[in-house]
Structures are given as structure tokens and as C-alpha cells.
Structure 1
Amino acid sequence: MKPITPRIHGMIDYSSVALMLAAPALLRLDGRAGLISRLFAGSYLGVSLLTRMPLGVKPVIPFPVHGQIELASAPALLALPLLSGAFKATRERLYFLSLLATVLTVYSLTDWQADPER
């Protein structure tokens, strides 16, 4: 039994979006890392708004597909900063590794087969 329901997952996603938007200023990330963080925030916001879950606005994406999209984003959390050079600085590297760990942890604790209205 996984403890994260679709409703809780939505709350986590929207909170994560807010943190990804605030992180560049709060952590004084360099320009490339800040841009990548904001791009991820926008993509997570878009997917969350379109997911069939209690906090989704236009339920187009089935909740299990949301999970597949989220899992597929994990390699990009490393690849984009690495390819852009934003991964060289310690603060930026720790930030993106922390995001990756958060995504993988939330993914593994989410009940993707739960009733999407929970």
C-alpha cells in the first residue's frame, strides 16, 4: 500500500512547482540553472493542470500516464543541467540532485493505480 494518493500527489506537485520557481532567487542559482528550474516548473505545472486528479483543472491526462511522464522527466533533471554547464557549480549540482531524489521518492510512494478522485 503506497501512502501518496492522487490528491496528495497533486499537492506535492503544485508545492514543487512553487519551490522550483522560487529556488533560483532563494538559492542564488546561476542563470542557466535558474532557467532550467523555471522550465521544469512550467512543465510540471502544465502536466499537473491537465491530469485527471482532484487538483487537476482540465482532466485530459490519466493519472498513471502522469506518473510515466514524471518518471521520464527524471533523466532530464540531470541531462539538461549537465549539457548546459549548470551542473558544474556545487550549489546547482546539489539542487538538481535533490530535485531528482524528490521526484524518484514521490514517484515510488505514489499509488498510481488509485482512484484518481481520491
Structure 2
Amino acid sequence: MKPPVTPRVHGVIDYVACAGLLVLPRLLGLSPAARARSQALAAGYLALTVITDFPLAVRRTVPFPWHGRAELLSLPLVLLSARGAKTNDRRYFAGVAAMVLTAFLSTDWGADPDR
């Protein structure tokens, strides 16, 4: 059975996630360090998203499967962002890591990138 998330839907998820990475830390009252780390993650994910070969990209350069590998490889960085942080900050980054992993596992990386 193929995962249900198409490249187009994955793009929507990515853009919404980037917005969340920018807005949620302040709304949740996270530390300034956690807000800065979250903003850096948002910038990295956004940069990758806008150049991925799928319908919502600005410039379709990075093959869609490579986008998936990059997201998967980012998980240790997300988890390291919580190191030495306050409890709420750690929970936030654990949630971000869970979101990234769920999106990765739910996406059909072999799908036609125009779907």
C-alpha cells in the first residue's frame, strides 16, 4: 500500500509547518533560544521546499525523493535543538521531530512530482 500523501499535499504540509515553526514558539512562550532555533529550522525547511520538484515550488530543482531524504536527515538536528533546553522547549522540539517523521512516513516519495 502506498503512503497517502502526494507531493502536492506534502508541499502544503511543508509550507504550513514552516509557518508554525515561525509562529508557535512565541505563542507557546518558549525561550528566546528555542524561538531562534525554530526560526532557523523554518528557514532551512522553507529554502528546501521552494526549490523542490513538486507543484508548489518556486523553482523545481531538487528531486522530490531527495527532499524526503533531507527531511529525514534533519531529524537529529531537530532533536539536538532541544539539548540543554527547558522542559517546554524540549517538548516542542520533540513534537517537531514527530511531525517531520510522520510527514516523511506518510508521503509517497516515488509518486509523480506533479501529483
- TM-score bucket of the superposed structures, by smaller chain: over 0.9
Match of 2:112 among 98, 110, 115: 115
**Is the 2:50–2:56 contact (alpha carbons within 8 Å) kept by the matching residues of 1?**
yes
User: Cα offset for 1:36?
Assistant: 0.3
Determine the C-alpha separation between the residues in 1 that align with 2:56 and 2:73.
Answer: 21
User: Cα offset for 1:30?
Assistant: 0.3
Question: What is residue 36 of structure 1 aligned with on the other side?
Answer: 37
Aligned partner letter, 2:12: M
> The residue matched to 1:81 in structure 2 has which SS?
coil
Match of 1:96 among 93, 98, 103: 93
Report percent identity of matched pairs.
45
Question: What is residue 45 of structure 1 aligned with on the other side?
Answer: 46
Question: What is residue 102 of structure 2 aligned with on the other side?
Answer: 105
> The residue matched to 1:46 in structure 2 has which SS?
helix
Question: What is residue 6 of structure 2 aligned with on the other side?
Answer: 5
TM-score when scaled to structure 2? 0.96
Determine the C-alpha separation between the residues in 2 that align with 1:32 and 1:3.
Answer: 35
Q: Which 4+ stretches in 1 moved above 4 angstroms?
A: none
TM-score when scaled to structure 1? 0.94
User: Cα offset for 1:81?
Assistant: 2.8
Determine the C-alpha separation between the residues in 2 that align with 1:19 and 1:62.
Answer: 25
Determine the C-alpha separation between the residues in 1 that align with 2:11 and 2:95.
Answer: 19
**Is the 1:54–1:116 contact (alpha carbons within 8 Å) kept by the matching residues of 2?**
yes
Q: CA RMSD in A?
A: 0.8
User: Cα offset for 1:72?
Assistant: 0.3
